[in-house]
Structure 1
Amino acid sequence: MKALSVLLLVMLGLSGWSGAGASERREFCVFDVAGASGFVYRTLQDYHRKAAIAGVGLNMRPYTDEDKAVADLRAGRCDIVAVTDMGARTFNDFSGSISAIGAVPYYEDLKVLLHILASPRVDRHLEQNGYEVLGVTPMGAAYLFVNDRAIDHVEALEGKRITVFEGHHDARHMVEYVGAVPVTAKISNFASLFNSGEADISYAPAAAYEVLEMFRGMGSKGGIVDYPVGQVTVQLIARADEFDDAFVRKSRRIMSRLYPEAMRIVRQYERSIPEDRWVKISPEAVRGYQEMLRSVRIDMQQSTEDSGMLAAGVYHDDMMTILRKVRCYTNPGAMECSAENRE
């Protein structure tokens, strides 16, 4: 009998059995507008491999509809979902505030921020309403794609039609603040609105030039304003307590460490854009954009109008303070660092 017991244990060991604690494969739903061939999906394949090493097997599934991916997480058909910061806002306003307009102007700022997000110091902010953030990594800076190169300073935005994503209340407030006209859009159609001429301006990462063929909307007169109005990130969201604390911490570190590879691809997309397509702006215009975007964020926070309060409501105060400190860490001479009306 003893020999039989030993034989059974050996056989179970060879078959990969690990008892009641055996880990099942989890569903990892990844939104990428280009599907499994896209930049986000390919970048997260490295996360998939490292999660397996950490003891969590994942079954990756591509989604080209972000709303569907979010719905499947809520319905329990996904255990982890990878969405843009806009998609993440419905789960967590702290990490969702990373895409606050103009709040993370440079990649150096984003790199510092990702280290902070992987630190236990902000753990309490990364779990809200039954969901938690398992990490953040870059998708690239958002630039203004314009159909006229003369749109190279803040004042030139007045009267122009600018696409604004549904639910992106802060961007809508900015558009109205500068006297432009918001054109409601979705991730699935913003590029076509620009390409068809229904909008004069649209904001997107550089990858959209090739992947979404946004060069078509530029025509012969347009270009891409070489100043980032924000950062687009991919964020992992899961139901709280779906994974143990050790893996959650590991996951956040893995995502943070994807930064070099993600940025290699981002910069590859940026370098592939013909030089004459970039609209270079003067240092004065850069300062104008920086101050305008800061003024918009402050105006939202002080507004007593419904639209302003709705816009300000998408920002988490602690994250806005962290972002300001990061900007002043990387650029201590900026006006905001000594201004009295600091965020």
Structure 2
Amino acid sequence: MIRSLRVVLALCATLTTSLAQAADPIERRICVFDLAGNVGPVMTAMKDWQTAALQWGLKAKLVAYTNEAIAAEDLKAGVCDASLITGLRGRQFNQYSGTIDSIGSLPTMDHMKVLLQVLSDPRSAKPMTSGDYEVLGVAPAGAAYIFVNDREINSLAKAAGKKVAVLEFDETQAIMVAQVGATPVSSDITNFSTKFNNGVVDILAAPLIAYELLELYKGMEPDGGIVDYPIAQISMQLVGRLDKFPNEVAQLIREASFEAYDQVRARVKIEEDRVPDRWWIDIPADEKREYEAMMQEARDTLRQQDYYDGRMLDLQSRIRCKFDPSRGECSNKN
């Protein structure tokens, strides 16, 4: 999730198209969520970009935030011209792009690539703007998996009665936990890994690139593991204030985001490959089908509650059917 965000270099570089024409540098305050703060890998990437941006006529003031919630609130308050946050947190600014991370909607990174290609097309620009905000770019952060402290928790039935870390602002997780009879433990992105590593919770969901960054191996030792079934594709989104980043500039950044996809994916894979094979927990095919059915039910429920954007869910369904027309949901699709 973190190192892959060097994509910001590619995303923001396209600002030169309109800003370089200005006689005086245009100042923008970019708030960057990085768990490691000012010395973290995200800020390191952004500082490289900041230096280069001066020659484009953009004077960017970078501010590191270790608390993602505050980065989002400061964007609302106008303290930030743009904030780099997770798609889960970004849903409050744009429900359409915030539904990219919906549970089970994109089975693989290949599905994610097709989706981001669609979103980079100018014809998809309209829903990327919502109220006073516009999504300037989306970067893939890899799939999220279920981490457990006991390898015996290799089925939904065995998760019953266990404690599960759930992000307090993501209703999806609470619904999923309730469905399997487990106990949700409200957490945020700054402490959910600590709760797992200290044994406060038995289960958490996280992208593989968090394995080393958040030292999740501590929570899995000695008998835990990672259930070999991706439950969501995680995104990082650069959300800007509409009056600070014109639509045409945002479109260029989105196009650059997709053009950088393969490079970003390669960086994410390097981090994912750091996970030793011994941690993987295989689950049978019928268990995977049970996971899929449960996630479909959760998506349907959250669509009805207007938590997920139906337009994005429909687009994701069409992409799933493109990859596998034999899926039951595809019978009525062209």
- Does the 8 A contact of 2:89 with 2:169 survive in 1? no
CA distance in 1, matches of 2:74, 2:303: 33
1:182 CA displacement: 0.9
**Of residues 34, 37, 40 in structure 1, which corresponds to 2:36?**
34
1:66 aligns with 2:68: yes
Match of 2:125, SS state, is helix
1:62 CA displacement: 2.3
Give matches, 1:115-264, under 5 Å: 115-264=117-266
CA distance in 2, matches of 1:55, 1:331: 47
After superposition, the Cα gap between the structure-2 partners of 1:212 and 1:156, relative to the gap in structure 1 and judged at 3 Å, is same
TM-score (norm 2): 0.86
Instruction: Name whichever of 47-56 and 20-29 sits farther off.
Output: 47-56
Match of 2:80, SS state, is coil
Per-residue CA deviations over 1:139-168 (Å, capped at 9, x if unaligned) read 111110101112222322222211110121
- Does the 8 A contact of 2:22 with 2:57 survive in 1? no
Instruction: Name whichever of 124-133 and 61-70 sits farther off.
Output: 61-70
Match of 1:183, SS state, is strand
1:114 CA displacement: 0.7
**Of residues 78, 102, 126 in structure 1, which corresponds to 2:80?**
78
After superposition, the Cα gap between the structure-2 partners of 1:83 and 1:300, relative to the gap in structure 1 and judged at 3 Å, is closer
Give matches, 1:301-312, under 5 Å: 301=303, 309=305
CA distance in 1, matches of 2:51, 2:121: 22
After superposition, the Cα gap between the structure-2 partners of 1:38 and 1:326, relative to the gap in structure 1 and judged at 3 Å, is farther
After superposition, the Cα gap between the structure-2 partners of 1:60 and 1:287, relative to the gap in structure 1 and judged at 3 Å, is same
**Of residues 295, 308, 317 in structure 1, which corresponds to 2:310?**
317
Q: Structure 1: which 5+ runs fail to align?
A: 1-17, 303-308
CA distance in 2, matches of 1:71, 1:321: 30
1:42 CA displacement: 5.2
Match of 1:293, SS state, is helix
CA distance in 2, matches of 1:286, 1:55: 52
CA distance in 2, matches of 1:192, 1:245: 40
Match of 2:244, SS state, is coil
CA distance in 2, matches of 1:51, 1:110: 29
Query: Counterpart in 2 of 1:8?
Result: none
Query: Counterpart in 1 of 2:329?
Result: 336
Larger Rg: 1
After superposition, the Cα gap between the structure-2 partners of 1:43 and 1:111, relative to the gap in structure 1 and judged at 3 Å, is farther
CA distance in 2, matches of 1:123, 1:63: 28
Q: Structure 2: which 5+ runs fail to align?
A: 1-19
Instruction: Name whichever of 150-159 and 268-277 sits farther off.
Output: 150-159
User: What's the C-alpha RMSD, in Å, of the aligned pairs?
Assistant: 2.4
Query: Counterpart in 1 of 2:16?
Result: none
1:228 CA displacement: 1.0
Paired residue type of 1:272? R
1:195 CA displacement: 1.1
Paired residue type of 2:319? V
Instruction: Name whichever of 23-32 and 132-141 sits farther off.
Output: 23-32
CA distance in 2, matches of 1:46, 1:269: 21
After superposition, the Cα gap between the structure-2 partners of 1:38 and 1:334, relative to the gap in structure 1 and judged at 3 Å, is farther
1:105 CA displacement: 1.8
Match of 1:227, SS state, is strand
CA distance in 2, matches of 1:256, 1:275: 30
1:67 CA displacement: 1.6
**Of residues 93, 97, 101 in structure 1, which corresponds to 2:95?**
93
- Does the 8 A contact of 2:26 with 2:57 survive in 1? no
How many corresponding residue pairs? 314
1:244 CA displacement: 2.4
CA distance in 2, matches of 1:174, 1:81: 29
1:272 CA displacement: 0.8
- Does the 8 A contact of 1:196 with 1:217 survive in 2? yes
After superposition, the Cα gap between the structure-2 partners of 1:52 and 1:174, relative to the gap in structure 1 and judged at 3 Å, is farther
Paired residue type of 1:141? A
